[in-house]
Amino acid sequence: MFIKHSRLDRFILALNSTFLILAVLMVVLPLIYVVIASFMDPSVLLNHGLSFNISDWSLEGYKKILSNPAMIRGFGNAVFYASAFAILTVMVSICAGYALSDERLKGRSFFMTLFLITMFFGGGLVPTYLLVKNLGLLNTVWAVIIPGAVNIWNIILSRTFFKGVPKELREAANVDGASEMKIFLSVVLPLSKPIIFVLALYAFVGQWNSYFDAMIYLDNPSLHPLQLVLRSILIQNQVDPSMISDQLAMAEMKKLSEIIKYAAIVVSSLPLLIMYPFFQKYFEKGVMVGSLK
């Protein structure tokens, strides 16, 4: 490629780079701020803002947040919910996608329509809540795992993937006399690792970051996932009194609660932010396949 750039072109390219750098800074600076602030000494942060002097730093926020039982429990719950949800979602979507990709399945377009309607129309919050309640799922872990497990996007994703698997593979196995189930389990499934991975990642991240279902279905604090615990710390300003000893004055408490917030953000977001660059390829794949329909 030998594109000759005129002077105007080079000016535009320079402008382009400037704006891109600005965009990156706008995304990154708040995150960097939070990370640095989380390591600050509480009173320095409150009175002078950020400081790059090592003597002004402390691990107080992390000590408090990591010794908070609600936070630890929330972390454990979130890992469990997200994993269970990912496993269920993957199984349901892979099976449905496989069936819907097979031309021998009669009534495919009817089933697809049935699924697609749910994308644009739903019964609404209260009827869904009443259903979950009547099924006896309220205040059980199933309430956050089962109702959301079937998702039309995931089914479309996996159907698209299986449509790309050469038909000859299935047919060849069929000639050998293998049963449909055997073909699926021993021929198709081993080829499906990428799609399983994509679906699992999306489901895991989605569940990890959500709070709404848990908020409406789970009253019992011992079942609360991380995001609900974070909500009470970050937004409702309910710093667990056990994190701050009673003798401390109000001002001290306010200072500490700020630091605890920063530390809580870092601790809760770091796992995903560290993990995601390694899986970026798969996440992007998910977006692309989904858009092809």
Partner 1 sequence: MQNSVQVDYRKKTVIRQKSNTFEYLKKHYFLYLMLAPALILTLIFKYGPMYGAIIAFKDFSPIKGIMGSEWVGLHNFEKFLSSPNFTDIFMNTLKLSLFGLILGFPVPILLALMLNQVRRAGVKKNIQLLLYAPNFISVVVVVGMLFIFLSPTGPINQLFSLFTNEPIMFMSRPEYFRWIYILSDIWTGAGWASIIYVAALANVDPELHNAANLDGANLLQRIRHIDLPTIRPIMAIVFILAAGNIMSIGFEKAYLMQTATNLPTAEIIPTYVYKIGLQAGDYAYSSAVGLFNSVINVILLVTVNFIVKKLNEGEGLY
Which residues inside 85-104 make contact with partner 1, applying CB under 8 A?
91-93, 95-96, 98-100, 102, 104
Where helices occur in the chain by DSSP H, the ranges are 7-38, 42-48, 60-66, 69-101, 108-120, 125-134, 142-145, 152-163, 167-175, 180-182, 193-209, 212-217, 226-234, 250-292
By the 8 A CB rule, do 81 and 145 touch? yes
- The owner of tokens 């329509």 is 113
Q: Which parts of 256-285 interact with partner 1 (CB under 8 A)?
A: 258, 261-262, 264-265, 268-269, 272-273, 276-277, 280, 283-284
Smallest Cα–Cα separation from 224: which of 81, 67, 89, 87? 81
Q: What 8-state DSSP symbol labels residue 40? A: B
- Whole-number minimum distance, CB 222 to partner 1, in Å? 19
Q: Which parts of 159-178 interact with partner 1 (CB under 8 A)?
A: none
By the 8 A CB rule, do 86 and 204 touch? yes
- Whole-number minimum distance, CB 271 to partner 1, in Å? 10
Indicate whether 114 belongs to the interface with partner 1 (CB under 8 A): yes
Stretch that binds partner 1, among 24-32, 52-60, 69-77, 243-251 (CB under 8 A): 24-32
Instruction: Return the residue of 35, 36, 80, 147 that touches partner 1, per CB under 8 A.
Output: 147
- Whole-number minimum distance, CB 55 to partner 1, in Å? 22
By the 8 A CB rule, do 100 and 158 touch? no
Indicate whether 146 belongs to the interface with partner 1 (CB under 8 A): yes
Q: How far apart are CA 56 and CA 44, in angstroms?
A: 7
**CB nearer partner 1, residue 131 or residue 248:** 131
Indicate whether 31 belongs to the interface with partner 1 (CB under 8 A): yes
**CB nearer partner 1, residue 27 or residue 54:** 27
